[in-house]
Chains A and B, each alone.
Chain A
Amino acid sequence: EAQVTQNPRYLITVTGKKLTVTCSQNMNHEYMSWYRQDPGLGLRQIYYSMNVEVTDKGDVPEGYKVSRKEKRNFPLILESPSPNQTSLYFCASSAGRGRNEKLFFGSGTQLSVL
């Protein structure tokens, strides 16, 4: 089954404790992206990757890191989480660079930073 898998689904942590949210897709997609969803703000892009070893900042990259060492995986790293990073995070992927590319989303990771 074609899917984007994120782990964990829920995470509670404390300020400053490094964490990683994993994302994996099994569709051989070139493009992957991370979004955060906050009430009233919709989805805002954090980072995206057009291919292996190619990453770029989205609209709200501060406090986040990503890596794309393999095509299927695109982990989101919070080196020193802060309470304002409490949010619902989504990973997404699509096949390529076309203008009309359907995005496939993971089920989300609810992060709480205390």
Chain B
Amino acid sequence: GEDVEQSLFLSVREGDSSVINCTYTDSSSTYLYWYKQEPGAGLQLLTYIFSNMDMKQDQRLTVLLNKKDKHLSLRIADTQTGDSAIYFCAETPPYSSASKIIFGSGTRLSIRP
């Protein structure tokens, strides 16, 4: 079945770049997402990438997709304290709608001064 895997923790120094990685198993997934969960809040969609793209950039965020290795990454440039959160990778299987979006376990990003 489908599975999305992420490491649980990442710690970076303020001002450095953060790279959060994710692997997925369904090679036919069409959309892959990054959601952000701030403390005490629900998830918010940060960005998404369509599977025919290799890269998507949006201000400080860069998403890289390696379809051959089924690897998705989120790079946050110039990491700030406000970036402290849990980041979820997610995919939508090809045979279903958003009702079957599959989430990874989340990566908790902490920022060191």
* Interface residues in chain A, defined as those with a beta carbon under 8 Å from any beta carbon in chain B: 4, 31, 33, 35, 40-45, 48, 50, 56, 90, 92, 94, 97-103, 105-108
Contacts and interface: CB of A to CB of B under 8 A. Distances in A.
A99 B43 contact: no
A101 B98 contact: yes
Interface stretch (B12-20, B63-71, B75-83, B103-111): B103-111
Given A43-B88, A103-B45, A105-B44, 10 more contacts: A31-B98, A48-B99, A56-B99, A90-B43, A92-B42, A98-B97, A99-B31, A100-B92, A103-B43, A107-B41
Contacts of B97: 31, 97-99, 101
B98 A43 contact: no
B40 interface: yes
Contacts of B92: 99-100
Interface residue range, chain B: 20 to 34
Nearest to B93: A99
Interface string B41-67: 111110010100000000000000000
B30 A99 contact: yes
A103 B88 contact: no
Contacts of B45: 102-103
Contact of A103 (B40, B101, B106): B101
Contacts of A42: 4, 88, 103-106
Nearest to B92: A99
Q: Taking each of B8, B43, B106, which has the highest tally of chain A beta carbons within 10 Å of its own beta carbon?
A: B43
A39 to B, nearest CB: 9
A31 B44 CA distance: 17
Q: Taking each of A41, A42, A45, A98, which has the highest tally of chain B beta carbons within 10 Å of its own beta carbon?
A: A42
B88 A97 contact: no
B28 to A, nearest CB: 12
A93 B18 CA distance: 30
A103 B42 CA distance: 11
Contacts of B31: 99-100
**Which 7 pairs between the two chains have the least Cβ-Cβ distance?**
A105-B42, A101-B98, A42-B105, A43-B103, A97-B97, A105-B43, A42-B103
